[in-house]
Amino acid sequence: MISRLALSAAAIALAGSVAFAQPAATPPPPERNLQVLPRDIAQRDLINIMQSFNRALGVECSYCHVAGNFASDANGHKNIARGMLRLTQRLNRELLPEIQGLGEPRVSCFTCHRGEAQPATAPGAPPAAPHTHSGERG
């Protein structure tokens, strides 16, 4: 009994490692590390979301991912981004719908980040454009 179980577990592990050995009805590969986004999300939709993160924060994929392993959580920015995903979902699904008189809630990463990894918290900050010269330093 135990050895039969162990054998079938080994067979499943083997099947999972061979890309085309899975039957059509099998759920997505178990090594996928999605905790907020739907596990069965289409790859194209996933990459579209990831590219929207890049644009919203003004960063590259490597800002949140360690090279060569998108499923890894070793880069701390990735887990922060997970919390931000939950925050954004909660705003749109729970908090904004409680406010009367609004249209469809559509807060996105860009709503706050505006192309910056660290969003501004106050208006009137001095311009951050790198090529602006104030003249003070000659």
24: Cα within 13 Å, side-chain hemisphere:
0
Q: What's phi and psi for 51, nearest 5 deg?
A: -65, -30
Does position 78 interact with ligand HEC (CB under 6 A)? The reply is: yes
* Closest CB 92 distance from ligand HEC, rounded Å: 9
Q: What are 12's two structure tokens?
A: 């499943």
Site for ligand HEC in 14-53 (CB under 6 A): 32-37, 46-47, 50-51, 53
Q: Rounded to whole angstroms, how far apart are CA atoms 100 and 19?
A: 50
Q: In degrees to the nearest 10, what's the CA dihedral of 34, 35, 38, 44?
A: -30
Q: Count of residues binding ligand HEC (CB under 6 A)?
A: 37
Residue 88 as a binder of ligand HEC (CB under 6 A): the answer is yes
Chain residues that interact with ligand HEC, rule: CB under 6 A: 32-37, 46-47, 50-51, 53-54, 57, 59, 61, 63-65, 70-71, 77-78, 80-82, 84-85, 87-88, 107, 109, 111-113, 117-119
